[in-house]
Each structure stands twice: as C-alpha cells, then as structure tokens.
Amino acid sequence: MPKSLDTIIYLELEKSKIKREKAKLVMDKSIALYFIFMLVAVLGFVFDYIDSFMLNTLIVLGIVILILGTLPYMLTVNKEEKKIDNFLKQLKNE
C-alpha cells in the first residue's frame, strides 16, 4: 500500500494534537492544584490554622507545581511547532 505524503503529514499532525492535549491536561491539573494550594494557604493563615512558615511553604510548593506542570506543555508546543515548520519547508521545496 503506497503512502502519500499528505496522509503521512495528516497523521503526524493528529499525533501532535494528541501529545499537545495530553500536555494540556497535565497543565490544567497543575493550575487547579496551584489554586487549591493558594486557597488552603491563605484561608489557613487568615483563620490561624497555619503559621507564616507553613504559608510560605505552601506558596513555594504551589509555584513549583505550577512550573512543573507548565514546562511539559511548553516543551511539547515548541517541539511540535518546529515539526510543522519542517513540514512547511519540505512542501515548499517540492
């Protein structure tokens, strides 16, 4: 069965969409977890359930979670952008 270039490119783009969606799910969950950490930290501090050290710890952990959740999405998007640019160069050269 001969493979056409259009079919290969279409399948590669679909695969890229799936990877991007997976990375987006991780990012969405990390954003939700970040806001939960912030909510617990602020409410716990306001109502004197936690001290300032625990507040700072929760804030730092929330920021770390946000960074770790955002990095895979950014890396995936950059990699896929380069792949699409390569496809465009190949098509322009033909």
Instruction: State the DSSP H helix or E strand holding residue 56, giving kind and residue range, or none if neither.
Output: helix 52-93
Q: What is the pLDDT of residues 35-45, one digit of tens each?
A: 999 999 999 99
Q: Which of the pair, 2 or 46, is modelled with greater confidence?
A: 46
What residue ranges do the domains of the chain occupy? Answer: 30-93
> Sign (positive/negative) of CA torsion 77, 81, 82, 87?
positive
Q: Are 12 and 83 contacting, i.e. CB atoms less than 8 angstroms apart?
A: yes
Q: How much is the pLDDT for 54?
A: 95
**Mean pLDDT, the chain, integer:** 89
pLDDT in tens, 13-64: 899 889 999 999 999 999 999 999 999 999 999 999 999 999 999 999 999 9
pLDDT, average across residues 59-84 = 92
Rounded to 10°, the helix 52-93/5-46 angle is: 170
Whether the Cβ atoms of residue 61 and residue 30 lie closer than 8 Å to each other? no
